[in-house]
Amino acid sequence: MTISSRVPLILVLAVWLLAAGCGGADNPASAGDKELTIGYVGWADSVAVSKLTEVALEEKLGYEVELRRFEEPEAAVMSAGRGEIDAFQSVWMRDHAKYLGAAKGERLLDPWLIGTTRSGLAAPSYMNVGSIEGMKRFGNVPIIAVEPGVEPGSKVSEAVAEQLPERDVSYLDTSKMLSEVDRRYSEEEPFFFTAWSPHWMNDEYEFDYLVDPKNEMGEAAQPLRIHTVVHAELGQEDPFALAFLDTMHLAEHQVNGLELSIREAQSPRDGVESWLEDRDWLVKSWIGSAKRRVGEG
C-alpha cells in the first residue's frame, strides 16, 4: 500500500477517534452512558414534561432514561427524597408543599413553568359568559367537574360543591369528564366545567375562565407554580443532569401544545418528537445552558 492510499484511511480513523473522544457535538463529557430515573403521574402535564425530558436526554445526549409511574404526587416526592428516583417534575406549589421534607433527602428546584398555572370554572366561548355572577343567567345549565380528590382541578370542584350547592354538578374522573366536555362542546350545548392550565384543553377548545370578583372559589382558583424535585445527591452524582433539569423552562402555551401533540399521536414519544421537529433550538438552548453551568461550555 502506498503512502497516498493510506492517507484517506488515516483521516477517517482520526475523525472517528475525535468524535468518540468528544461524545458528539451535543454530548457533554459527563453524559456518556449515564442513567436517570424520572417519576411521573398520570396528569397530562406530568406525562408531557417527563417524556420530553426522556427524549431530549436520550436522543441528544445518549442517556438511558427510565420513566416510573406513580399514582399520587406524594409517593413520587417521597421516592425522590429516598433516592429511589432521581427527579419528579410535577410539584404544584403550594398544593404539594405538605409532601416535602418527610423523606429529608430531596431538593426543590426553581419552577420550570414560566409564569403560573390557571384553574377555575369555565364556559365555552359561544355562551358569552364572563363571570361566575353571569352564570345566574343559566340557572339550569349543569357543571361538568372532575371529581374531588383528583388533581389537578379537584379543588375547584370542591369549591363548587361548597359555594354553589344548588347547581346540577356531574362529578367524573378526569378522562370521563374530558370526554363529556368534548361531546357537549362539539354539539354546542350550554354547560360549565372545571378547567386548568397547562392542559391540552386550552388549545383544543375556545372557552373563557370565569372571573370571580367575589372570590367565591377561594384558594381553589389561585395560581400555582410547577417545580421539579430531585434527590439531594443528584448534583454530586450527575451535575450535568441536575443542571439540565434546572435549566428546562417552558411557557404555558408550549406545554399546552406539547400535550395536544401527544394526544394526537400514536404514542407519547411520537407526540414529543413531532412537537420537537420545529423546536430543536429549544433543547439545544437547555443543553448549552447546562454545559455552561458545569463548566463544559
pLDDT classification of 218: cutoffs 50, 70, 90: confident
Percent of the residues in the chain that have a pLDDT greater than 90, as a whole number:
61
Fold match between 29-115+224-293 and 118-221? yes
| Fold classified for 29-115+224-293 | D-Maltodextrin-Binding Protein; domain 2 (3.40.190)
Domain residue spans of the chain: 29-115+224-293, 118-221
pLDDT for res 19: 40
pLDDT at 162 over 80: no
Distance, CA of 79 to CA of 40 (rounded, Å):
11
Residue 24 DSSP label: -
Its CATH architecture, for the domain 118-221, is 3-Layer(aba) Sandwich (3.40)
Which is higher by pLDDT, 219 or 63?
63
Span 10-63, pLDDT tens digits: 333 333 333 433 444 455 544 557 999 999 999 999 999 999 999 999 999 999
Buried b (16+ CB within 10 A) or exposed e, 232-269: eebbeebbbbbbbbbbbebebebbbbbbbbbbeeeebb
* Cα 161 from chain centre: 28
pTM given for the model:
0.85
pLDDT classification of 140: cutoffs 50, 70, 90: confident
pLDDT at 164 over 50: yes
Span 78-120, pLDDT tens digits: 999 999 999 999 998 777 777 787 767 889 999 999 999 998 8
Which runs of consecutive H residues, i.e. helices, occur in 23-66? 44-61
Distance, CA of 131 to CA of 216 (rounded, Å):
11
Q: What are phi and psi of 29, to 5 degrees?
A: -60, -25
- Integer-rounded Cα Rg, in Å, for the chain is 23
pLDDT for res 265: 96
For 110-133, what is the mean pLDDT?
A: 93
